[in-house]
Amino acid sequence: MTSDQFSRLRRLRRNSTLREMLSETRLSASDFIYPMFVVNGTGVRTPIEPMPGIDQMSVDVAVEEAQKAFDAGIKSVLLFGIPDEKDATGSRSSSPEEAVQQAAAAIKKASPETYVITDVCLCEYTDHGHCGIVTGNVVDNDATLPLLAETAVSHARAGADMVAPSAMMDGQVAAIRAALNDNGFTNTPIMGYSAKYASVFYGPFRIAAGSTPQFGDRRDYQMAPTQSREAMREIEADIDEGADLIMVKPALAYLDVVKEASMRFDTPIVAYNVSGEYSMIAAAGNAGWLDRERATLEVLTSIKRAGASLIITYSAIEAAGLLAKG
């Protein structure tokens, strides 16, 4: 007998029930974290042009959106804030009156089981658009750390379940961990944006959050796309500083980094399916160039298959609905 008479892998693909039973990678709504952009005011829902289906939302609208996500099976949201006023030091980032703090409190009150994560960075709050204090056109790493720590504590006081520092400042996790502990928040976890690359795929987000740098770029503190071994060093550093989860961002162009991290570290891996990745599929799908629904699930499955425990994705509610349909 020839070998093909013994082994025919198509036998395991011919029946849909068997294909489902043998699935190596399973995607569910509980894998998703839904990012939301919150602003001050009431009754605000402003569409974000390069991100069809995603809006800037005032706190009252964000509460409704978080409940919609929870009802779809998505247990966690990630909040980004957009202030009315910005300054050189991003001073509004730690104000209890700002949208992130107000939304964290309101969402937890309306839906206590929704797990609220908050982004900790200054870029949305600075008038120059960089992620920290600028001295002579250079972001001052050490001067930025106390401000990030103060912001994280303000989020925890407001009711955030977890904080997620994204500024890519060396030592940010350690500074935030110490500040949380000193203020009685020893049980508040930190999700480190550990391997965050200087990526073109953040473009739509920067429009949504009004955080485009007014000079230079972020390549002197975010990672170069050429680096993978360095990513492992960044991840290890965050774990050593006390990160409870670590993140790779973006996801699609860095699936090799997700895979390597998942094989090397026991700490849960989060992958961020970023705005540009979302916008590409939305635009191509809306133009009829591909099946948006199938592409969305295929992309998210690839991220999970690479080793991500959780996926931050703007497609969360859409994908949860598709999974529910089967």
Retrieve residue 129's tokens. Answer: 């658009």
Tell me whether residue 259 is one of the annotated catalytic residues: no
Distances from the Cα of 122 to the Cα of 90, 147, 178, 252, 268, angstroms: 5, 8, 19, 25, 25
Q: Which of 177, 269, 202 is nearest to 231 (CA)?
A: 269
Catalytic residue among 68, 75, 108, 249: 249
Burial class (CB in 10 A: 0-12, 13-18, 19+), 67: middle
Cα radius of gyration rounded to whole Å, the chain: 20
Q: Which of 196, 259, 304, 325 is catalytic?
A: 196
249 among known catalytic residues = yes
Q: Which residues are catalytic?
A: 196, 249
